[in-house]
Structure 1
Amino acid sequence: PILRENMKYFGYGYIKDAKELVPSIPICFYAFRLMVGVGSLLILFFALSLFLIYKKEIAQYRWFLISAIIMIPLAYIASESGWIVAEIGRQPWTIQDLLPVSAAISDIEAGSVATTFFIFLALFTTMLAVEISILVKQIKKGPEYE
């Protein structure tokens, strides 16, 4: 009951100016078009690759194999563009109409965030080094034949 009684004071009570309710339209506009354009390009590329694999001719097209390698970062670009659309497009809300981002921020100090970041960086770098060493050992060992 207390939450329902005070629901009218949530969200918009934090907003001081109506201009704060409008997200950055140009960023969302271009990020969305980049996401859709790159995604469409990747769909067409994968359809062509499936066709060439089905025809058993993919190895004959060296340009296609090189372009496949060049296409790898495009998936990440499309993904990040979608993330930008989602994050910028929902501004200024963390929870729509209830909790604006300005009220949801944490009071954790920058030093604590940096310390945590470097701990994760060290941990994942160590795991990467271990993984690479395991891979190299297995590659040198070669396949096991029965």
Structure 2
Amino acid sequence: MYLRSMTHSEGILRCLALAQKAGGYVHPNPWVGALIVHEGRVLGEGYHHKAGQAHAEVEALRALAPEDRALLPHATMYVNLEPCAHRGKTPPCADALVEAGIGEVVVGTEDPNPLVSGQGIARLREAGIHVTVGIEEAACRWLNRRFFHAITTGMPYL
């Protein structure tokens, strides 16, 4: 799919649309969508389908055509929530992005989970990846308000 040059805002809004496909299948995890773009062309996109399965960033990387992998150092990944930096049921997404060689990551909002908060972004930056944070942040936080509430208060969102 070719697009005119995509703004960061448009990239994150597409991630939010992808994330909504998660519906109620990822609890207790947040709803996350990811998009990889190079010069206006969408190379891959994904979302977290189910708790315990690959996260959105990995799904987007898996969606790449083999010939597009060489473009990753010049591509941008958009993701509505900071890539995880800890090992749970899946390996850290931040590590997957570093290993893939992505050149830039645009993050809608930081993850409030103490296991992640700022650590995913730091890992990307330490690897030399250009990171922008805080694009469409209010919309990103709203989509995952239940997750944010549960993480910050220890209580369910009612």
TM-score bucket (shorter structure): under 0.3
Bigger Cα Rg: 1
Structure with greater proportional strand content? 2
Instruction: Tell me the TM-score normalized by structure 2.
Output: 0.19
Higher helix share: 1
If asked which structure has higher relative contact order (CA below 8 Å, sep 6+), I would say 1
TM-score, scaled relative to structure 1: 0.20
